[in-house]
Structure 1
Amino acid sequence: MELKLFERVESGKGLFAVESISLIYNALTTILILLLYPRMDHPGMMLLERLGIVALTFVLIYLYQAFPCRLTAFIRMVVQMSLLAYWYPDTFEFNRLFPNLDYVFASVEQAIFHCQPSVEFSKLCPSMWFSEPFNMGYFFYYPMMLIVVVYYFLTRFEWFEKICFVLVTSFFIYYLFYILVPVAGPQFYFPAIGMDKVNACDFPAIGDYFNDNTFLLPGPGYEHGFFYNLVEASQEVGERPTAAFPSSHVGISTIVMIMAWRVNRKLAYILFPFYVLLCCATVYIQAHYLIDSLVGLITAFFVYQLATLMYKRWFISPVFKRMY
């Protein structure tokens, strides 16, 4: 393993595909900050953070050129993927300025299913035997990605750049949509309007309410559960009233399953139970409306194909190749 990690690869002077798309997303959101500058909460800090991300990217390129091997290539890729933890809450800084659309989605949900599935699901399955598995599935979102990415790195290095690009680009496609379509999800919208209105099927528009209010409804289920508390802690740190429609948890995890299926069917079978629990959990913990999750599932295939096409059109020859 050590020989593979430090196996020399062609250094190159260019950007990896995933770095290119990250810089493009950085530039697009920078332009949006400049356009919305007077209305934003801390635009100066956001611009400085983006500059820092650019600087970090080029520092890692310098590191790779000095020590061109699989390990430094992996570091460059993983750093860009880890920055998704910054880019996700960043979407809230934009869509908080626009009128919230939860009332539309809650009304559509009611019209289609004649109830609020997220509320009914949690009422139907309140015990630890449902709560813990669902919360475990929801928490497994990032570990599932990490498992598949590392598997490609160790066993299919020639595809590693492509799958990192496709994964990060898929996130960015969803993030751009979230910026323009502000939907917070039941766990934010329902406490904002009150459960009496939810039970009365009254879903009022709340305008830019979330610009100043970010109260998060505690998740349903067994509140003393280990995975319940892991999910609650992670949401308290990183969750924002944004990114509900479509569900990127369902969309991205579906894309990860496609990647797993293509490289190793056994790996896909192992991950499948966690994937099913994750998809169910998005509605169970009231992070999403059911239509969010269904549309997340459907769009995953289109987003995967679009990101793959972008890679083939823009990066026909991978930036780094194994040296023979």
Structure 2
Amino acid sequence: MGVRFGKDRERAGLYAENRHFQGTEGDVGVVSSGGVALRFTPVDRATLGYDLFVLAFVILFWRKIPSAGTHLLFNLSVVGVVFLMRRLRGGPLSRFLRSGYPLILFTFFYYQTGLLNRILVPEFLDPLFLSADRGIFGEFPGILLRQMLRGRFWSEFFHFFYSSYYIVIPLTAVGIFLRERGRFEEYMFQVSLLFYICYAIYIFLPVEGPLHLRALSFDGGGFFERLVDFLYAKGENPGAAFPSSHVAVALLVAWWSRRVGRAFSCVVTLCSLFLSVATVYCMFHYAVDVFAGVFLAVAYVVAVGKLRGEDKGDDEENGEKNPPRL
């Protein structure tokens, strides 16, 4: 049985009636000390689930983790953010933030994985992944792509599409919020859960990516190349390459973008496809990272569709005329 959504999710927030939670199926609620019932949405539960998983990891391996207290403080603060979002009331911006707040958390969660990913596996596993690429292609395909597509134009071309990743996810979120507000929470839940799956994998499977080859192949010239270097230096931490969350999430977002409009969907889909190539051309990922990202995205969409079908069938059996979506 999948997670149930409906138009009433737009009214998710604060509920108070005789100190009891009057929720709908699919929501989890708690009653605050002031008698206010807080309804946790699927986005909240996915975020809390991942955050508490990391919190448990930090506590379990406390002595092995540098600055473990900082991690503890961060993950506890995320719990506070989730509770704060449930109390948020107001206009369209507040409604957007109530489900869209993970868009801000993704960067911090992602960075944290790079601080935790060598606690259990002390060394990066890159030799295995580089060998896999060479076994398939005869050489790391990033080098082959650079040989075929030389020059500043192609470098800027692919670095532009690599950087588009940071735009298409929130832009699609805004588009869905404006065009199909009743589906916005569903979009955020699916994107959030896919990110959290990738992040959990990174903690146990540290793969840095072919950054040493990038340093030998690019000179830091060109606006978009410098922009990507800046974003990587400020917002990323090595060790989160397999599977490629860039590819997996970008493809999921492309799948969702059709709900915003045909022209928008074409642009986002092209960005996602070129981004998938750019991850290898720009030498941030091995090809096997991309393959894994594509597989994960497809499997995820298929699983979502199956759960939707199960929900629809169950709702029809129960006589519901307008079954909620996954």
TM-score per shorter chain, which class? 0.7 to 0.9
Aligned pair partner of 1:297 in 286, 289, 294 = 294
Residue 83 of structure 2 corresponds to 58
Residue 322 of structure 1 corresponds to none
Give TM-score, length-normalised by structure 1.
Answer: 0.79
Could you tell me whether the CA contact under 8 Å between 1:132 and 1:225 is conserved in 2? yes
Following superposition, the deviation at residue 229 of structure 1 comes to 1.0
Following superposition, the deviation at residue 253 of structure 1 comes to 0.4
Could you tell me whether the CA contact under 8 Å between 1:185 and 1:244 is conserved in 2? yes
Residue 66 of structure 2 corresponds to 41
Q: CA RMSD in A?
A: 2.4
**Which structure exhibits the higher relative contact order, with contacts defined as CA atoms closer than 8 Å and separated by 6 or more residues?**
1
Cα pair distance change 1:311/1:56, threshold 3 Å: farther
1:139-158 → structure 2 map (5 Å cutoff): 139-158=163-182
Cα pair distance change 1:179/1:305, threshold 3 Å: farther
Provide the C-alpha distance between the structure 2 equivalents of 1:24 and 1:311, rounded to a whole number of angstroms: 22
Could you tell me whether the CA contact under 8 Å between 1:91 and 1:175 is conserved in 2? yes
Aligned pair partner of 1:89 in 89, 100, 111 = 111
Following superposition, the deviation at residue 301 of structure 1 comes to 1.4
Q: Does 1:76 align with 2:98?
A: yes
Cα pair distance change 1:24/1:278, threshold 3 Å: same
Cα pair distance change 1:55/1:10, threshold 3 Å: closer
Residue 205 of structure 2 corresponds to 181
Residue 34 of structure 2 corresponds to none
Residue 137 of structure 1 corresponds to 161
Residue 321 of structure 1 corresponds to none
Following superposition, the deviation at residue 112 of structure 1 comes to 1.3
Q: Mind listing any 5+ residue stretches in structure 1 that lack a counterpart?
A: 1-7, 192-216, 318-324
Amino acid at match of 2:223: F
Provide the C-alpha distance between the structure 1 equivalents of 2:204 and 2:92, rounded to a whole number of angstroms: 38
Q: Does 1:109 align with 2:140?
A: no
Residue 48 of structure 2 corresponds to 23
Provide the C-alpha distance between the structure 1 equivalents of 2:267 and 2:248, rounded to a whole number of angstroms: 19
Provide the C-alpha distance between the structure 2 equivalents of 1:229 and 1:38, rounded to a whole number of angstroms: 38
**SS class of match (2:237):** coil
Per-residue CA deviations over 1:250-296 (Å, capped at 9, x if unaligned) read 11100001111355333211223322221111001110011111221
Following superposition, the deviation at residue 19 of structure 1 comes to 1.4
Cα pair distance change 1:173/1:307, threshold 3 Å: farther
Q: Count matched residues.
A: 279
Give TM-score, length-normalised by structure 2.
Answer: 0.79
Percent identical among aligned pairs is 28
Per-residue CA deviations over 1:23-55 (Å, capped at 9, x if unaligned) read 111111111111111111111110011111111
Provide the C-alpha distance between the structure 1 equivalents of 2:237 and 2:100, rounded to a whole number of angstroms: 24
Amino acid at match of 2:160: M
**SS class of match (2:285):** coil
Provide the C-alpha distance between the structure 2 equivalents of 1:15 and 1:37, rounded to a whole number of angstroms: 29
Cα pair distance change 1:94/1:83, threshold 3 Å: same
1:218-257 → structure 2 map (5 Å cutoff): 218=215, 220-221=217-218, 223-257=220-254
Could you tell me whether the CA contact under 8 Å between 1:173 and 1:303 is conserved in 2? no
Could you tell me whether the CA contact under 8 Å between 1:121 and 1:284 is conserved in 2? yes
Q: Does 1:161 align with 2:185?
A: yes
**SS class of match (2:88):** helix
Could you tell me whether the CA contact under 8 Å between 1:166 and 1:304 is conserved in 2? no
Q: Mind listing any 5+ residue stretches in structure 2 that lack a counterpart?
A: 1-9, 16-37, 316-326
